[in-house]
């Protein structure tokens, strides 16, 4: 079944942000949610020279901050921010427990 979109949002776009917002609206928020997932995975792979838990903590915190800003702007769902916050918290708790055991 073919979906018909109202292109009035796109025809009134005067800059790149409005085009991205129109595309995000048409995809029901999926565009920027997957963009945040891609940013997280790229950061995780870019930090592979570190230990895995350090790279995971750093990339999830950076993704949390970026998704928090996008949530505040109304571009990303609150669930995305919550997922990255939870990932950051559990990774930090894991690293704390491991370092306590080593002492």
Check residue 26 and give its pLDDT: 82
Determine the average pLDDT of the residues in 71-97. 92
Region for residue 29 given its phi and psi (left: phi exceeds 0; alpha: psi -120 to 50; beta: otherwise): left
Considering the entire predicted model, what is its pTM?
Answer: 0.81
Q: How many CA atoms lie within 13 A of 88 on its CB side?
A: 16
Q: pLDDT tens digit string along 37-56?
A: 999 999 999 998 999 999 99
Residue owning tokens 């370092």: 99
Residue owning tokens 């109304």: 74
Contacts of 22 (CB under 8 A, 6+ apart): 9, 10, 13
Check residue 65 and give its pLDDT: 96
Residue owning tokens 């109202």: 6
């Amino acid at each position: 079944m073919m979906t018909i979109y109202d292109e009035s949002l796109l025809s009134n776009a005067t800059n790149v942000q409005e085009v991205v917002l129109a595309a995000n609206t048409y995809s029901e928020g999926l565009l920027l949610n997957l963009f945040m997932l891609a940013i997280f995975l790229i950061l995780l792979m870019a930090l592979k020279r570190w230990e895995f838990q350090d790279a995971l903590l750093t990339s999830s915190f950076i993704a949390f901050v970026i998704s928090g800003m996008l949530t505040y702007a109304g571009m990303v769902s609150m669930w995305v921010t919550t997922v990255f916050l939870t990932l950051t918290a559990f990774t930090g708790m894991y690293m704390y427990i491991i370092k306590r055991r080593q002492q």
